[in-house]
A and B are shown apart, each in its own frame.
Chain A
Amino acid sequence: MSSTLEQKIPSIEAIEEGLAGQGYISSRQIATALFLAVRLGKPILVEGPAGTGKTELAKATAGFMNLPLIRMQCYEGLDESKALYEWKYGKQLLYTQLLRDKLGEQLREAATLDEALVRLDGVDDMFFSDRFLEPRPLLRALREPIGCVLLVDEVDKADEEFESFLLEILSDYQVSIPELGTQVAKVIPIVLLTSNNTRDLGDAMKRRCLHLHIGYPDARREERIVQTRVPHVQASLLRQLVHYVQNLRTQDLRKLPSVSETIDWARALILLNASQLEPELVHNTLNVLLKFEGDMSSAGKLVGEMTHQALRESSHGMAAK
């Protein structure tokens, strides 16, 4: 069954192209991870700083492989009934009320208590059937007939117990529901787990996953990413702003600007009709890139110098080309 998925991605290059078609500029390592995930049927644990496109990767993957995306956001206190399945208690109650007469009729015909119990047993099964089952993301992912991309977002925010519960699903792609029996995945889903490293995940979890670290992209990839996201940006401005951000990341800051901030900044600069970086302009828009007061003031001092550096470097790049 999963061979159809494999056919969709015959090679690592095909994945790179497919993702690029969705506006996601991947690196070779990212594409290799997806390639292996499908071949080995293993989940990918994606780690890296915030805003480097971890969640976006899942969306793009679902997009180019034409699979539904099922997303599960993790948080403290998330448990089975919210992640896997729940019975529709209200509906069950309502139905028993409505069907009371009918039930009464059935039971009245029963001569003995034993017989009545047997009859009730038959009804009981009806109330714990698919009709009253509310599948939550994990069960939905297992039941998708053509497979899906399951995104378990920020798994580090969930409790430790939930992490252990995930292990069963992630290693066997099956789960047992006491009333219905074992549910096995129709098609093994592509599972992406993301983590921002608010806490270290357990070893058992890491052992079962492919581990992909998405860091900050290099200048060329970042240019391509911004280019696809903000198509109107001028080539010269693009090069300058990317150089500036790349330099900024070498500074000692509390939170380094990530790709999503670069994109926001590019949009902001376009709105301000900028055609090239100027210290004044950078100073005024720095709050798009930096999110902490301390960072702002320490980077603010260097704005002039760094702007000139970015201008110089980007013009070198032009000359070289």
Chain B
Amino acid sequence: MSGSSPFGRAAETAQSSDMLLRLLRVARGAGVRISVAEAIDAFESANAVGYADRQALKDALTLTIAKTFEDKQIFEQCFETYFKRENTALSGDLASKLPPPPTPSQGEGTEGEAQGMGGEGQGAQSALGQMLMQGDLAGLAAAMERAAEAAGATNITLFTQTNLYARRILDRMGLAELEREITRLRGEGNAELADRLAKARAALGEQARGYMERQLALFSQGTTREIREGALRQVNLSQLDRRDIQRMRQLIRDMAKKIAERYSRKRYRDRRGVLDMRRTMRRNMVFDGVPFRTVWKRERIDKPRVMALCDVSGSVANVARFLLMFLYSLHDVLADLRGYAFSSHLIDVSDILRRESSDDAITKILEAIGFGSTNYGKSLEDFCGMSLKHVNRQTTVIILGDARGNRNEPRVELMGDIFNRAGRVIWLNPEPQPLWGTGDSDMYRYAPFCSQMMTCNTIAQLERVVEELLANAR
């Protein structure tokens, strides 16, 4: 090693840095945010601890790359899967799938035969054919890895590309030559060997596809998810597919986290021109009381107090679920959050939401409230009886519902009471605006008592509402 050290080491570093780059891509795909600066740090720290000790490498990379507890868990998992792939994908699987003759476990007779065959067809057989017949797993693995690299296998993004890439890998491993050889052997009448080679070729093809599937699982995670999430943001919540709910929940959590990050700090607004005497004097004591540095009075921007009234009947239920989920993931940046659910009557669900995980919570709420026909008048009455006294100028009341009260008395005057006490009343209606006021919809009768009315039926709209709520808090 010392003899060829400059080249040897250069090649080694190049290899490990490739490895590291791929690992970073996998981690990014899995959702860990890694900046370029952090990638450079990752290389430096990997060099500092070396590549030999895998545990130390994992620790070092986790320290440099993952900057939250969740990220750390994701990254460690990526690390494990990544290296599992490096180890097993190449030798273990292939061994069991290759056609029998060349494996040593077949006994002495076969061994002799294999040897004889090797000698017999050495000049004639292609490189790939030889490797297959001799069961040179390490050689095959290395060849496949090389071919995959040349074919750009890590660029795979969609599952439909699996076959394409597998084919490219095989081409680069010398498939054409092998096929010519098989035809030639058949022509020469050596059908037995031709059959064995054909079988081996099929096994190899399967291997290559399997390899690409694993690549897909590792490397396309990010892209596939981006496409999917982009679509989910726009999808109509009332027609949401059941299996998307899980994904949607994750999406909402991420969005809430982003918004919370932005608004979690105490915010102040300078009132320039109004001197804060006390703090100015304190600040200038070091100058012998001569006011060199002035301190202005500041206004604190309060966290909004929110009361959310959600219709949980029928088609609105899904939107309600996500609004509540959203608000409760934001509880850090909201001063006081109360959730109410209603259909035929109204109940306070704050406790349920605080305690249960979001899924159980929705089920429990639905159990508690039942599937009665919606009655807005009765629900507003319940709300006023329970909580109107807590509504004040700092409160934002959000009502989510289609305002379809089944021709019950809408009790508009109660809505007026709420409006007069609250800072803001926002009505979110999942129906598109042209449908408002049609049929049994009382939307326009409530309209005078709403500061804002919006259609809200996708996650993107929901996000806009919540952002706006936080930005304009007073």
Contacts and interface: CB of A to CB of B under 8 A. Distances in A.
Nearest to B283: A81
Contact of A29 (B48, B62, B68, B286): B62
Interface stretch (A141-149, A199-207, A220-228, A273-281): A199-207
Contact of B286 (A33, A76, A89): A89
Interface stretch (B38-46, B133-141, B145-153): B38-46
A213 B72 contact: yes
Contacts of A35: 48-49
Contact of B63 (A29, A76, A199): A29
Interface in A6-44: 12, 28-29, 32-33, 35-36, 39-40, 42, 44
B35 A207 contact: yes
Nearest to A205: B67
Interface string A35-63: 11001101011010000000000000000
Contact of A207 (B37, B45, B62, B63): B37
B185 to A, nearest CB: 57
A212 interface: yes
A212 B71 CA distance: 12
The residue among B63, B67, B68, B266 with the most chain A CB atoms within 10 A of its own CB is: B63
B37 A32 contact: no
Nearest to A209: B67
Contacts of B48: 35-36, 39-40
Contacts of A86: 286
B418 interface: no
A155 interface: no
B265 A210 contact: no
Contacts of A32: 49, 56, 59-60, 63
Nearest to B63: A210
A90 B286 contact: yes
Given A89-B288, A207-B37, A200 B63 contact: no
Interface string A73-92: 00010000000001001100
B264 A200 contact: yes
B96 interface: no
A86 B285 CA distance: 13
A40 B264 contact: no
B64 interface: yes
A199 B64 contact: no
Contact of B55 (A28, A42, A89, A206): A28
A93 interface: yes
Contacts of B45: 36, 39-40, 210
Interface of A: 12, 28-29, 32-33, 35-36, 39-40, 42, 44-45, 47, 76, 86, 89-90, 93, 160, 199-200, 206-207, 209-213, 215
The 5 closest A-B pairs by CB, nearest first: A32-B59, A39-B48, A206-B67, A89-B286, A211-B67
26 contacts: A28-B55, A28-B56, A29-B63, A32-B59, A32-B60, A33-B59, A35-B48, A36-B63, A36-B64, A40-B48, A45-B67, A47-B69, A89-B287, A160-B265, A200-B260, A207-B37, A207-B67, A210-B45, A210-B64, A211-B63, A211-B66, A211-B67, A211-B68, A211-B72, A213-B72, A215-B69
